[in-house]
Amino acid sequence: MPIHDQGYRHYTGERTLHGRGWWVIARAGMLERLRERRFLGLLLLAWSLFVVRAVQLYFGETIARAVFFAPSERTFQLFLDQQRLFVFFITIYAGAGLIASDRQSHALQIYLSRPITRNDYIAGKLMTLAIFLVGVTWVPAMLLLVLQVLFSGSLAFVADHPRLVPAITAASALQVALAAVTMVALSSVSASRRFAAILYAAIAIFAGAIAAVLRASTGNAGWVLVSPANTLLVVNDAIFGGSSESAVPLAVAVGVLAAIFAACIVILERRVRAVDVVA
Amino acid sequence: MNTQPAVSLEGVTVKYGAHEALRDVSAEFPSGATGLLGPNGAGKSTLIKALLGLLPPASGRMRVLGYDVRESPLAVRARVGYMPEGDAHIPGMTAVSFVSYCGELAGLPRANAMQRAHEVLFYVGLGEARYRNVETYSTGMKQRIKLAQALVHDPDLLLLDEPTNGLDPNGRDEILALVRDIAATKAISLILSSHLLPDVEHACSHVVVLHKGAVATQGPITALKGTSGRLFELRVKGDEAGFADAVRAEGLECHADGGGVLRIFVPEERGSRLLFQLALRHGVQVRHLRASVPSLEDVFARALGEEER
């Protein structure tokens, strides 16, 4: 373009078909977060446990006396459980403003007046958060498995535990999906990212506390299901083949998670609209 | 020039719950610049959102650029640029990344969207400020960037919802000059929604007037302004309101502008003499009488007046 030509010109280039809007939204959301040093610091911190576990694996495989560091399926389940803390902070940091900020700046009408659907928009926002969460759950867990193979010099461990890879994948997916869907739904409730963050933290922290109090006072293990995080633990236990300490039926726990997902979908369906109708 | 209307509506009704925001609206918006006029609450913004497929009509049919809105909302939105009424931006972005992002959302490849963003930002006069965060922009700049994001994918139709809201006179003139240029020389049809008659008169050749959710009148502005009679501006001393009622009782159209001036349409066969006779009969003094030219304001007042009747 000549430097003097600053007038309006018609566009004659390529236009892609509809259906990739979610990826445009997800990519922009991720790039925006990755420009923040604090967030990068949080991501790095989230990998600190991976480093610890990697060192343990190394000693477990190379030093005969450190056999107690030798990995098992439980090692990977524990690793994913311990990553919950970082999942919590990353979810709040990267997720609270995903829709709330758009509501505050009236950006929903900008998005939805483009050739993208509400599902594209929601999927893009979910992906923004989910990719970061996958990066601190599934990716380090699988890398640990790869390191185990490298340190031991054989595939024997993987061959002896054929359901480990699917279990890590399923447990990570569930953990990521629950955090992402809940946070995005809560983010759509308000135009304040701070309010959305407080709401998420309140649910995560107080639900756990309430569950513990109810369980202790009534002696009924079923009360653990009041807390989404505890419910997730029950399901993860089943995924990794363990026996649940809470003795809660798996079907009930799955049902609770399904109800949470359904509630989030209803919230998103009602809140993500270009036109707010006040009845 | 394309003779196919850019937008056509047949019996469109849009409801918010039990409230009918648009009632059986049938209208045509030809190619070029069309004003969508109406007082606040007339249904202008609702109509625009319905055209974008954001508000499904309870009944009726809408076609935009040949596409049925109900059947192909995404195809419509790919070819339409929308400038919303209120402040709207994506937080945390510079102007150029915001406009480029909007281009990508509309289906442009990333590199092309970025190039278009630079071009349209220069076109709307934000070239020098394109690396500034949008949140630091003044009201006038925010209006311009909303226009830029609506233009970035080179739409065939622009929907401008109150584009001069909150602007000072200079800013308003500059936006209207851009709007006029877009419609006149860039071959982009546009619908300019406004309650400001001079804005529409300045930029548009056609007009659709909405009132209480229904079409009050529509057509080319010149044709609507045309009258079989003559228009007089009149000032009287005495009972102005009573005189205006007497004029209306005589079957004439009379609009008071609130500043002491009555604008009265007199049929061709009945001259200004009639006004003097009425004044005499009603006991008021005619202090000023001048033949005038019908304006869009008269069209608007007449349309709304007929609706009220």
Q: pLDDT, tens digit, for every residue of B286-298?
A: 988 888 777 777 7
pLDDT tens by residue, A93-150 = 999 999 999 999 999 999 999 999 999 999 999 999 999 999 999 999 999 999 999 9
Is A8 within 8 Å of B119 when comparing Cβ atoms?
Answer: yes
Nearest CB partner across the interface for A6, out of B16, B109, B127: B127
Confidence of residue B2 (pLDDT cuts 50, 70, 90): low
Which residues in chain A have Cβ-Cβ distances shorter than 8 Å to B82? 109, 113
**Does B134 lie in the same domain as B79?**
yes
Task: Indicate if the pLDDT at residue B3 is higher than 80.
Answer: no
Q: State whether residue B75 sits within 8 Å of chain A by CB.
A: yes
CA distances from A66 to A21, A62, A71 (A): 51, 8, 11
Find the domain containing B241 and state its range. 227-293
- Contact list in B for residue A15 (CB cut-off 8 A) is 78, 106-108, 153
Do B205 and B71 reside in the same domain of the chain?
yes
Strand B157-161 with B262-266, pairing: unpaired
The ipTM estimated for the assembled molecules is 0.88
Residue B298 lies in a domain: no
Name the token pair of B234: 């009149």
pTM of the entire structure?
A: 0.86
CB atoms closer than 10 angstroms to residue A209: 11
CB A46 within 8 A of CB A38: no
Q: How many CB pairs under 8 A join A and B?
A: 114
A interface residues, B as partner, C-beta within 8 Å: 1, 6-11, 13-18, 21, 24-25, 28, 32, 97, 101-102, 104-107, 109-117, 273-275, 277, 279
Residues B174 and B261 in one domain: no
Q: How confident is the model at residue A1 (pLDDT cuts 50, 70, 90)?
A: very low
Q: Which pLDDT tens digit goes with each residue over A146-182?
A: 999 999 888 999 999 999 999 999 999 999 999 999 9
Q: How far is CA B4 from the centre of its chain?
A: 20
The ranges assigned to domains in chain A are 21-271
- Strand-pairing partners, residue A38, are none
In a domain, B1, yes or no: no
Contacts of B186 in chain A (CB under 8 A): 8, 10
B243 inside domain: yes
Cβ of A13 and B112 within 8 Å?
A: yes
Same domain flag for B213 and B255: no
Is the residue at B171 inside a domain? yes
Whether residue B192 is found in the same domain as residue B232: no
Residues B38 and B120 in one domain: yes
Are B20 and B155 contained in the same domain?
Answer: yes
Q: Is residue B305 part of a domain?
A: no
What is the band of A16 on the pLDDT scale with cuts at 50, 70, 90?
confident
Residues B115 and B246 in one domain: no
In the sheet where B80-83 sits, what is the strand order?
Answer: B80-83, B157-161, B189-194, B33-37, B206-211, B214-220
The CATH number of residue B270's host domain is: 3.30.70.100
| Residue B173 CB neighbour total at 10 angstroms | 14
A4 has a pLDDT exceeding 70: no
User: How far apart are alpha carbons B179 and B138 in whole angstroms?
Assistant: 20
Q: Which of A11, A104, A275 to mutate to test the interface with B (most CBs of B within 10 A)?
A: A11
The whole-number pLDDT of residue B270 equals 75
B211 shares its domain with B236: no
Smallest Cα distance from B82 to chain A, Å: 7
| Domain containing residue B153: CATH number | 3.40.50.300
Q: Which tens digits make up the pLDDT trace of B150-168? A: 999 999 999 999 999 888 8
Mean per-residue pLDDT over chain A, rounded: 90
Which of A105, A115, A117 has its CB closest to that of B89?
A: A105
% of chain B residues with pLDDT over 90 = 56
In a shared domain, residues B206 and B263: no
User: What Rg, from alpha-carbon coordinates, does chain B have?
Assistant: 22
* Residue A210, pLDDT above cutoff 60: yes
Chain A hits for B127, CB-CB cut-off 8 Å, are 6
Domain limit, last residue, from B167, B198, B219: B219
Q: What is the mean pLDDT of chain B?
A: 89
Distance between CA B103 and CA B78 in Å, rounded? 10
Query: B86 has which bridge partners?
Result: none
Same domain (yes/no): B268, B202: no
Q: Which residues of A touch B125 (CB under 8 A)?
A: none
> Residue A10 has which token pair?
């018609």
Which amino acid, B100? S
Tens of pLDDT, residues A231-265: 999 999 999 987 655 578 889 999 999 999 999 99
Q: Give the mean pLDDT of B4-17.
A: 93
Which of B203, B219, B235 is at the close of a domain?
Answer: B219
**How many structural domains comprise chain B?**
2
| Same domain (yes/no): B34, B95 | yes
